[in-house]
Structure formats: structure tokens, C-alpha cells
Amino acid sequence: MIKDLDAIDGTEGPAAVRALIGSLRSDDYTSHMAVYGALELFPPAVLSQGTIDAVPELLEIPAENSGEVLLLVAAMLNEEELHAFNVALGRLEPDARERLADLVTRHEQGESLADDRTLGRLRAE
């Protein structure tokens, strides 16, 4: 668990990204906004790897929170980084890959990933 979000500067690595994503279990909107802000500080490759590492947490946190995390990934990664992320998604265990694909589809159907800029960007390759 991340104790001091103000201390996050984006250099902490993928484990910190995973911890931040895992902290999104509560209903505290204010702390969620601080977590999303902290996630934006990470370089895209670190955000990408940390999010892949956090797939188990991503599948368990409330849907509105997972949607925000996936939106950050879809919006912050350039095409090359996004391709690497999608390849990593393709390497997930089949159950996790299928559950994540279902989650992405739900978010694309009128939720966080329904925007033209993000729709269809997250796909296991």
C-alpha cells in the first residue's frame, strides 16, 4: 500500500504502479483522484508494465476505477508502447486474458473506453 501519495514522483517503478492500482478498492473519490494523478507521473513503459503486473488487482477493484486506469493506459501510451502492452496482454494466462478482455469490452460499451481516441486500442496480441 502506498502511504504518501505526495512522495510519488514516477521513479518508483512498476511495483508502485501495481500498489497504486491495488489501492483503488475503496469508495473514496478524493483518494482515487490522487491515485490517478500519481499514476500519470510514471513514464508510459513503467505504467504499462505496472498495469500488466496489476491485472489481478485490476480485475478485482470496482469497475469505475479499473476503467479510469485503463483509460490512462490507452491515452498515455504511444503506438509502439501500446503494441508492447497489447503483446503483454496476449501473454497473460488464458483466464486472466479473457476476464480482462471482457472488462475492456464493458468499458468500451459506453463507459471509460468508448471515446474515439481509446476505443479498440487495448487488445491482446
Domain interval for residue 59? 5-108
Model pLDDT, residue 99 = 95
Q: Please state, rounded to an integer, the average pLDDT across all residues of the chain.
A: 90
Q: Is residue 25 a contact partner of residue 61, using CB atoms and an 8 Å limit?
A: yes
Cα–Cα distance measured from residue 63 to residue 4, given in angstroms and rounded to the nearest whole number: 24
So what's the pLDDT on residue 7? 82
Of the pLDDT bands very low, low, confident and very high (cuts 50, 70, 90), residue 90 is very high
Residue 29 lies in a domain: yes
119 inside domain: no
Q: Is residue 72 within 8 Å of 39, Cβ to Cβ? A: yes
Query: One-letter amino acid identity for 47?
Result: L
Examine residue 122 and state whether it is found in any structural domain, yes or no. no
Quick count: other Cβ atoms within 10 Å of Cβ 120?
10
123 within a domain of the structure (yes/no): no
**Band of the pLDDT at 41, cuts 50, 70, 90?**
very high
Residue 113 is assigned to a structural domain of this protein: no
How many structural domains is the chain composed of?
1
Considering the entire predicted model, what is its pTM?
Answer: 0.90
